[in-house]
């Protein structure tokens, strides 16, 4: 019997760390699957509890050089990086000054030679071993498991320096190894920052009604169905339904939407939303990780599992890069017979920068995007979105609001518009049909009061009959007309894809109401932006009729296919993919779920209110804002641009460093110092993704 558990892991600073932890855990008997997440510092383990327990997992992690703390602690974002740019600037300045000092004082002025001559070698070696003890222990552990890590080369370089009697050089190497470790830790923590900011938004306590009193308890202990009391200035701790009270709600943590929501009885509210004004009593529907906010955090944390192809390449590159460097070092020694040049080759080539180039950028981008209302489930979807060229879109609820509105009121008989609209809306007073709601909404908008209804009858598939005052009202489709109706105005409206309601009062046709699902206001601008960003083909896929689809496609200047079933949409996606296109599908996440899953990138619109959207799509837009679509494309383009820059500059830097070291132009101490620079470059470059443009 399988069980899924989450285990916090402490001490991981780079992608290499996650690989070591994963290998250690997955080698335990009874462990079926392991995902280790650097961003959220945890392992998600699928295991057989009869064969493995938490103690065995803790021992395995400790054997890999890391720890499983008794309780996970969440650091405050303010503690992690109170002033990110200032700390980054100071760090880079210190490293550059350190390297310059080593070159000028140590190498050019002969300070290292002086220290080597005056201090006994044994004393110097003990200082080296003490300073590098944590690093050396990790290297020995990895070596015993036949693993080569980035510090393996550095350690060999230290040994090489000690062998030739250069203990001062070995000490400087250890110093920059420790500096490099700090840089990696700082880099990773900066990328984790957005995830931790999300976690800290979750309220920790809740005030519930129990036994006629208000009791404050842990938010995780609230039971479904309990009544939670929310006061002004407090965060809502659960997902639920407002049953009493009114308040202005800030839902930015969930949807990214800056405009507040006016909550009243019947309004659904989400955990981590802030009650700015007013009091609420909320009936609990979901708690903790099952809330919308909890699921958002989980998906952001686990986005690392879906690695981009470019990230997998970097992981594979790290695996064969180290043996190549060892080969270059051996060749350097065979040709030059110079142990210092050989040590310099080993020291300058640190694969950590290659391993960090992709995940740091992905972590930064995914976390920052979630705060903007764009929930990305993994780095590979950023890479696929960056290369997308075809956009397929659903109609109802995606391009349109999903709620019909009255677009035309055509008077064909005697009477005032307001009086006729009052009779029509009154006749539909007790109907729950979407068109009835649209009529009542129009009457409210025009501030028309409705007369009382004396009788009401629904005619299935046709409309309604009602008695309003002294009038006999018939309101419905063409089939309710005595002759079937053949009006020029009606035909013209139907050609535009609109749905018609015919109003008869006392057996006389007085008006035609036309309704249509209204296009979202920002669709035109958003589609224009997507074309500008590389999408060459936009196509409407809808189960609606041909006329409605044709009219909407005409308005947007796109192609369309109508009368489609869910399996038809999947076939269209597959057809585009078979032709070599990268396909993005946007839908509402319910009837479009199969096509969303089949597409290279499925995007769910307005997923804060749709469970299926978050499950089926690869990217979820947490508010119904079409401008988030080109924003997601922009995020993908920026992220991949920075990843490619990270990889390119790191590769160029390492190749140059290897060449200079092998040729004898780079002393070992300078080589050790210089290997810290690529990590700083990756940190600074990737940090740009944390700042939204």
CATH numeric code, 223-286: 2.70.150.10
Q: What is the pLDDT of residues 455-466, one digit of tens each?
A: 988 887 688 999
What would be the CATH architecture of the domain defined by 374-400+520-627?
3-Layer(aba) Sandwich (3.40)
Q: What is the pLDDT of residues 395-422, one digit of tens each?
A: 877 888 877 889 899 998 788 899 999 9
pLDDT-derived band at 170, boundaries 50, 70, 90: confident
Q: Output the DSSP codes for 560-581.
A: EE-S--HHHHHHHHHHHHHTT-
CATH of 401-519, one of 3.40.50.300, 3.90.550.10, 3.40.1110.10, 2.30.110.10: 3.40.1110.10
Mean pLDDT check: name the lowest of 84-98, 243-257, 482-496.
84-98
Q: What is the pLDDT of residues 197-235, one digit of tens each?
A: 666 777 889 999 998 899 999 998 999 999 999 999 899
Q: What is the pLDDT of residues 267-310, one digit of tens each?
A: 888 888 888 878 899 999 999 888 877 876 776 666 555 555 66
Q: What is the pLDDT of residue 575?
A: 95
Q: Are 595 and 566 in contact (CB under 8 A)?
A: yes
Strands 453-459 and 400-411: unpaired
Q: What is the pLDDT of residue 148?
A: 66
pLDDT-derived band at 610, boundaries 50, 70, 90: low
The average pLDDT across 352-357 equals 68
Q: What is the pLDDT of residue 601?
A: 93
Q: Where are the alpha helices (DSSP H) in 520-667?
A: 523-532, 546-556, 566-578, 593-598, 611-616, 628-662
Q: What is the pLDDT of residues 538-550, one digit of tens each?
A: 999 987 778 888 8
Cα separation of 551 and 557, whole Å? 10
Kindly tell me if the per-residue pLDDT of 661 is higher than 80.
yes
Q: What is the pLDDT of residue 158?
A: 82
Q: What is the pLDDT of residues 575-594, one digit of tens each?
A: 999 999 999 999 875 567 77
Token representation of residue 576:
């585009």
Residue ranges of domains in the chain: 3-73, 84-196+300-361+638-690, 223-286, 374-400+520-627, 401-519
Q: What is the pLDDT of residues 95-111, one digit of tens each?
A: 656 655 665 556 556 66
Q: Are 636 and 312 in contact (CB under 8 A)?
A: no
Q: What are phi and psi of 3, to 5 degrees?
A: -135, 140
Give the end-to-end CA distance of the chain in Å, rounded to a whole number.
Answer: 48
Kindly tell me if the per-residue pLDDT of 443 is higher than 80.
yes
Query: Does the domain made of 3-73 have the CATH classification 3.50.50.60?
Result: no
The average pLDDT across 113-139 equals 82
Helix axis angle for 167-200 and 111-118, nearest 10°, is: 110
Q: What is the pLDDT of residue 316?
A: 64
Which residues lie closer than 8 Å to 546 by C-beta, 6 or more apart? 562, 563
Scan for tokens 């906010």, then name that residue: 293
Q: What are phi and psi of 527, to 5 degrees?
A: -65, -35
Q: Catalytic site residues?
A: 394
The average pLDDT across 446-462 equals 86
Q: What is the pLDDT of residue 317?
A: 65
Average pLDDT, the chain: 80
Percent of the chain with pLDDT over 90: 24
DSSP character at residue 47 = E
The average pLDDT across 474-496 equals 77
Q: What is the pLDDT of residue 83?
A: 47
The average pLDDT across 553-571 equals 88
The average pLDDT across 373-390 equals 89
The average pLDDT across 484-498 equals 75
Domains 3-73 and 401-519 share a fold: no
Q: What is the pLDDT of residue 300?
A: 63
Residue, of 153 and 371, whose pLDDT is higher: 371
pLDDT-derived band at 311, boundaries 50, 70, 90: low
Residue 469 gets the label, from left (phi > 0), alpha (psi -120 to 50) or beta, of: left
Whether the full predicted model's pTM is greater than 0.75, yes or no, is no
**How does 272-281 read in b/e, with b if 16+ C-beta sit within 10 Å?**
bbbbeebebb
pLDDT-derived band at 244, boundaries 50, 70, 90: very high
Measured at the CA of 572, the angle between CA 567 and CA 574, to 5 degrees, comes to: 95
Report in angstroms the alpha-carbon separations of 463 from 327, 379, 485, 503. 83, 51, 15, 10
Q: What is the pLDDT of residue 492?
A: 85
Cα separation of 690 and 372, whole Å? 11
Percent of the chain with pLDDT over 70: 80
């Amino acid at each position: 019997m399988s069980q899924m558990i989450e285990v916090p892991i402490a001490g991981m600073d780079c992608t290499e760390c996650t690989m070591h932890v994963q290998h250690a855990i997955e080698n335990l008997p009874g462990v079926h699957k392991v995902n280790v997440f650097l961003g959220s510092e945890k392992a998600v383990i699928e295991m057989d509890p009869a064969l493995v327990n938490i103690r065995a997992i803790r021992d395995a992690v400790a054997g890999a050089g890391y720890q499983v703390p008794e309780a996970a602690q969440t650091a405050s974002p303010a503690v992690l990086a109170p002033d990110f740019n200032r700390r980054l600037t100071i760090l880079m300045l210190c490293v550059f000054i350190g390297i310059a000092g080593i070159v000028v004082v140590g190498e050019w002025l002969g300070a290292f030679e002086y220290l080597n001559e005056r201090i006994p070698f044994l004393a110097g070696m003990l200082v080296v071993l003490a300073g590098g003890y944590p690093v050396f222990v990790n290297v020995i552990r990895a070596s015993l498991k036949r693993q080569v890590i980035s510090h393996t080369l550095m350690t060999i370089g230290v040994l090489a320096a000690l062998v030739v009697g250069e203990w001062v050089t070995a000490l400087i190497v250890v110093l920059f190894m420790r500096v490099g470790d700090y840089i990696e830790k700082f880099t990773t923590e900066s990328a984790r920052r957005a995830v931790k900011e999300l976690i800290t938004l979750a309220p920790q306590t809740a005030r519930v009604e129990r036994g006629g009193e208000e009791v404050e308890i842990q938010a995780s202990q609230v039971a479904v169905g309990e009544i939670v009391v929310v006061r002004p200035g407090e965060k809502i701790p659960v997902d639920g339904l407002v049953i009493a009270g009114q308040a202005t709600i800030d839902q930015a943590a969930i949807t990214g939407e800056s405009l507040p929501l006016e909550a009243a009885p019947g309004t659904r509210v989400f955990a981590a939303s802030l009650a700015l004004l007013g009091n609420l009593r909320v009936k609990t529907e979901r708690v903790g990780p099952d809330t919308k906010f909890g699921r958002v955090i989980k998906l952001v944390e686990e986005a690392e599992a879906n690695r981009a192809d470019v990230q997998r390449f970097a992981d594979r590159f790290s695996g064969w890069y180290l043996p190549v460097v060892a080969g270059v070092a051996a060749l350097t020694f065979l040709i030059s017979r110079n142990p210092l040049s050989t040590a310099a080759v080993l020291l300058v080539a640190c694969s950590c920068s290659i391993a960090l180039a992709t995940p740091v950028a992905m972590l930064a981008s995914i976390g920052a995007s979630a705060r903007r209302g764009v929930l990305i489930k993994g780095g590979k979807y950023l890479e696929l979105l960056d290369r997308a060229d075809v956009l397929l879109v659903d109609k109802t609820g995606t391009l349109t609001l999903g709620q019909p509105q009255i677009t035309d009121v055509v008077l064909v008989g005697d009477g005032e518009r307001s009086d006729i609209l009052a009779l029509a809306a009154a006749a539909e007073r007790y109907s729950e049909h979407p068109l009835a709601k649209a009529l009542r909404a129009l009457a409210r908008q025009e501030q028309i009061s409705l007369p009382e209804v004396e009788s009401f009858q629904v005619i299935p598939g046709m409309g309604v009959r009602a008695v309003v005052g002294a009038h006999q009202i018939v309101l419905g489709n063409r089939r309710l007309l005595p002759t079937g109706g053949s009006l020029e105005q009606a035909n013209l409206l139907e050609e535009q894809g609109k749905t018609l309601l015919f109003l008869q009062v006392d057996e006389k046709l007085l008006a035609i109401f036309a309704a249509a699902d209204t296009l979202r206001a920002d669709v035109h601008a958003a589609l224009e932006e997507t074309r500008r960003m590389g999408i060459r083909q936009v196509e409407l896929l809808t189960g609606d009729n041909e006329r409605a689809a044709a009219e909407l496609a005409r308005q947007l200047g796109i192609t369309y296919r109508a009368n489609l079933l869910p399996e038809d949409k999947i076939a269209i996606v597959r057809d585009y993919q078979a032709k070599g296109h990268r396909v993005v599908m946007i839908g509402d996440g319910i009837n479009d779920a199969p096509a969303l899953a089949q597409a290279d990138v499925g995007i769910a619109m307005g997923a804060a209110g749709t469970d299926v959207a978050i499950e089926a799509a690869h990217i979820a837009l947490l508010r119904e804002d079409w401008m988030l679509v080109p924003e997601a494309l922009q995020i993908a383009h920026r992220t991949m641009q920075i990843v490619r820059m990270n990889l390119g500059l790191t590769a160029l830097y390492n190749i140059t460093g290897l060449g200079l070291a092998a040729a004898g132009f780079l002393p070992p101490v300078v080589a050790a110092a210089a290997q810290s620079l690529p990590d700083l470059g990756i940190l600074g470059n990737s940090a740009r993704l944390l700042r939204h443009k």
